[in-house]
Amino acid sequence: MKLYGEANPAPNPRRVRIFLAEKAIDLPEIRIGMRQGGHKSPEHKARNSLGQVPTLELDDGTMISESVSICRYLEGLHPTPPLFGATPLEQAQVDMWIRRIEFQLMTPVGMFWRHAHPLTAALLTQYKDFGESNREAVTRVLRWLDRELSEGRDFIAGPTYSMADIVAQTTIDFAAFTGLEIPTDDAPHLTA
């Protein structure tokens, strides 16, 4: 197998790298050079028609894209430690939190990145007012997430580290890269 990805701060390839490290899986990663347009090259678009990373190439040539899907596949091959939950209830809770983080947090972070950040200005038409409007949404979601963590659990989806924590961490770190900081003064659980 081969993983096609990109270096930090790209959050989705980083999700897979953290997952691999937690599972102690050694998998070669080929960095495709997004800043140079490698993800839009015909060669990479043959692997992933959307021109995105990460993409996992299986030994038989099958391609799997989307970070969570790649990690679910690898979890099936390497179930220990379980990062998607061990019981049906844990699995549902991890899935619920992944979806919450992606929809509630990653979406406004992505909209800020696309529409308000100077690095993306040359790549697409920006609607700066819309992009900036996502700042408040990100802060609101981070405060909500802090309240959730204040209920006495150490990890987002339950008592153990999971894919939900990986998704949250990479999203929060990417938000910080774009200029959207954690409200540390009033989010002590999230900061911890």
Structure confidence by residue, pLDDT tens digits, 171-187 = 999 999 999 987 778 88
The residue behind tokens 């992009």 is: 131
CATH architecture of 88-191: Up-down Bundle (1.20)
pLDDT at position 121 is 83
For the record, the structure tokens of 59 come out as: 């030994």
| Cβ-based neighbour number of residue 117 at 10 Å | 17
Residue 4 bridge partners (DSSP): 30, 55
User: Model's pTM, two decimal places?
Assistant: 0.94
- Which of the following CATH numbers is that of domain 2-77: 3.40.30.10, 3.40.50.970, 2.40.220.10, 3.90.1150.10? 3.40.30.10
Q: Which regions in the chain score pLDDT beneath 50?
A: none
Domain ranges of the chain: 2-77, 88-191
> Is there a contact between 2 and 28 (Cβ–Cβ < 8 Å)?
yes
Helix 163-178 to helix 107-116 angle (10° resolution) is 20
Both tokens assigned to 134: 């996502």
Instruction: Give the pLDDT score at 181.
Output: 82
143 contacts 73 by C-beta, under 8 angstroms: no
What's the pLDDT tens digit per position in 56-74?
999 999 999 999 999 999 9
Considering only CA atoms, which of 50, 69, 61 is closest in space to residue 12?
Answer: 69
What are the start-end ranges of the H helices in 6-161? 11-23, 42-47, 67-77, 88-100, 107-116, 128-149
The answer to whether 64 touches 76, Cβ cutoff 8 Å, is: no
What is residue 168's predicted lDDT score, i.e. its pLDDT? 96
- The number of helix segments (H) and strand segments (E) in the chain equals 8, 4
